[in-house]
Structures are given as C-alpha cells and as structure tokens.
C-alpha cells in the first residue's frame, strides 16, 4: 500500500451514503465497496493501478485519502492522480441544496440523499458502452451483462486473492465478433452498435473525450447524431462521464420514483408528467431527478448480503 493523494471535496459530501448506494449493485463491476472503502482498478499510460478511497472526514468537512494498493506495469503517478480526481470530482451540489430548501416538495424528496457524491466513469467511451448495454433491460440484468463483459475482456489486477477489472478498451470491443458478445444477452442491434462505436473510437474517427470540453447542450446533441443513441442514452452517458445533468424522463425507474415520492402513488407515470414535475426546477431539474432516482435505488434495492 502506498499513499497517493488526498482529496478535499466541497461539502456537503457524504461518502458513507455513496458506499451504501454502491452496495445496492447486485453485480458490482468496476466500483467496488470493500472494508469500508471504495476500490477501483484504473489504466494509465499502459499500466494498471488498484486504488482505494477512504474517508476520514465528515459530510461537512470531507477528506478522502487515496492509496495505491497494487500495480501492474509502469505507472505515471500524476496521470493516476488526475484519473482519480476525474472519477471523484470536487463539484458541489450546495447551490442545489440551498434551492431545494425553499421548495417543500423537493426538500422532502431529496432529504435522505443530501450530500450524495458523484462517481464518474473513467472515460466517455466507458460510460457510453455501459449505458448502451442498459438500454431497455432491467437494471440487475444490465449489471450482470456488464460484469460478464469485463471478465470477458480480462483486463484485471489481483490483490489479496480478489480480482478487480478495468473496462474493455475500444480496441478489444472493436475486434469482437457478434457471436463473441452473445453472452451479454442484449439484442444483436445493440451488440452491433457497441462494436461500431468501439471501432470508430479505436480508429480515431469518433473522439468521445472531446464531449467533456463541450457545453452540456452541445455534447448532448453530438451524441444524438450517433445512430442508435436516443435521449435516455445521451443523458445518462453525459451524467456519468461529465456530470452534465439532464432529466431521463423515459427511464422507467425514474417514472416510478417520481410517482412514489412526489405524488404518493405506485407504478409508473407517463414521461410527460416526469418532465412537467422537474420543469418547475429550471436549471436544477437534472440534479433533482438524479437525487430522486438515487433515493429510489437506496430504498427499493437491498444491500448485497441482505434478504429482500
């Protein structure tokens, strides 16, 4: 174990709440909770690093310690620190929480998830590929497929008898055949889409990382230009990769969450009603939707190892 760096995110920042959320993932793939910390394998400059993030602060005075637990190949420490900072951005939701305090409905809905930190994808390609897998299948099924994919690619590092994975490279997915990816159990159309986007990314004809440098609206419209990418995929991808917040109004879980927390109902409501619900919050609509969905995950999905 080697000390790497310390992060001091802007409060409120409830690291324990993040771990509780990640423990709802039935098939953890990249974001691993272990021994009270967050573990993640990262590629940097040809090497692979396993980092552990732990908290020694409070939600009001957050302090995150980052340690290098294991490595394979040569590592650039500065690049690794930059990668960790990208995954754990210091951006604050404090302005949103101040706004929410003035709205009775919104304050009540988001109260259990105030201070929930962001964890972003290591790359836009990673975020987009994972989101494509999640299109129109259940969340648990998608997690299982994502887990299979990282195991198939085999980009791994072992520590203390446990295997941690990084996401497949664009080159690996570009070289795959449709038959290779059948175990994902998604449609052939989506398998073709994954391979095509990976091929273009590997060839350099599709620069997904440049989306980080664009304004949210411009990045959103660029993603929509890709065949097979619609509103939900674009919104979720940009949230995971860049922190750009939009309302995925056609997300079935969000439709059920809005009905439950805003209207006291059960089941899904129409997408248009989801849009109308968050439209009243203007520029905070996207982050309000994200907090609503996070509360749903925390309350509706059991932590691993607990009985339903």
What CATH number does residue 134 fall under?
1.10.340.30
Edge-to-edge, what's the strand order for the sheet holding 47-55?
Answer: 2-7, 64-72, 47-55, 37-44, 32-34
> Is the sign of the CA dihedral 131, 134, 139, 140 positive or negative?
negative
Domain assignment of residue 216, yes or no: yes
| Interatomic CA distance for residues 23 and 2, integer angstroms | 26
Same domain, yes or no, for 145 and 65?
Answer: no
Same domain, yes or no, for 140 and 216?
Answer: yes
For residues 22 and 303, is the Cβ–Cβ distance under 8 A? no
For residues 30 and 150, is the Cβ–Cβ distance under 8 A? yes
pTM of this structure: 0.96
Same domain, yes or no, for 183 and 222?
Answer: yes
Domain CATH number, residue 42: 3.30.310.20
> Would you write out the chain's pLDDT as a tens digit for each of its 308 residues?
999 999 999 999 999 999 999 999 999 999 999 999 999 999 998 899 999 999 999 999 999 999 999 999 999 999 999 999 999 998 889 999 999 999 999 999 999 999 999 999 999 999 999 999 999 899 999 999 999 999 999 999 999 999 999 999 999 999 999 999 999 999 999 999 999 999 999 999 999 999 999 999 999 999 999 999 999 999 999 999 999 999 999 999 999 999 999 999 999 999 999 999 999 999 999 999 999 999 999 999 999 865 43
Domain assignment of residue 109, yes or no: no
Same domain, yes or no, for 281 and 229?
Answer: no
| Interatomic CA distance for residues 36 and 61, integer angstroms | 18
In the chain, the number of structural domains is 3
Q: Which domain holds residue 35?
A: 2-90
């Amino acid at each position: 174990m080697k000390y790497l760096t310390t992060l001091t995110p802007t409060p409120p920042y409830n690291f324990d709440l993040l771990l509780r959320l990640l423990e709802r993932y039935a098939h953890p793939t990249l974001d691993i909770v272990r021994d009270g910390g967050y573990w993640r394998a990262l590629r940097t400059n040809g090497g692979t690093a396993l980092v552990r993030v732990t908290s020694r602060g409070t939600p009001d005075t957050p302090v995150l310690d980052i340690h290098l637990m294991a490595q394979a190949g040569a590592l650039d420490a500065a690049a690794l620190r930059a990668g960790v900072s990208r995954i754990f951005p210091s951006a604050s939701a404090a302005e949103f929480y101040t706004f929410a305090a003035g709205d009775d409905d919104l304050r009540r809905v988001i109260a259990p998830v105030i201070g929930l930190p962001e964890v972003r994808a290591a790359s836009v390609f990673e975020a987009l590929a994972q989101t494509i897998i999640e299109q129109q299948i259940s969340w648990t099924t998608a997690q299982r497929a994502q887990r299979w994919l990282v195991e198939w690619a085999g980009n791994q590092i072992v520590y203390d008898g446990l295997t941690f994975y990084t996401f497949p490279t664009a080159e690996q997915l570009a070289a795959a055949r449709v038959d290779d990816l059948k175990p994902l159990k998604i449609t052939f159309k989506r398998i073709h889409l994954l391979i095509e986007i990976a091929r273009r990314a590997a060839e350099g004809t599709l620069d997904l990382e440049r989306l980080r440098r664009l304004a949210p609206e411009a990045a959103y419209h660029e993603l929509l230009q890709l065949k097979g990418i619609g509103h939900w995929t674009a919104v979720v991808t940009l949230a995971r990769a860049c922190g750009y917040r939009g309302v995925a109004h056609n997300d079935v879980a969000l439709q059920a969450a809005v009905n439950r927390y805003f209207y006291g109902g059960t089941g899904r409501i129409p997408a248009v009603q989801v849009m109308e619900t968050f439209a009243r919050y203007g520029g905070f609509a996207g982050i309000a939707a994200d907090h609503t969905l996070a509360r749903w995950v925390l309350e509706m999905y059991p932590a691993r190892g607990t009985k339903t």
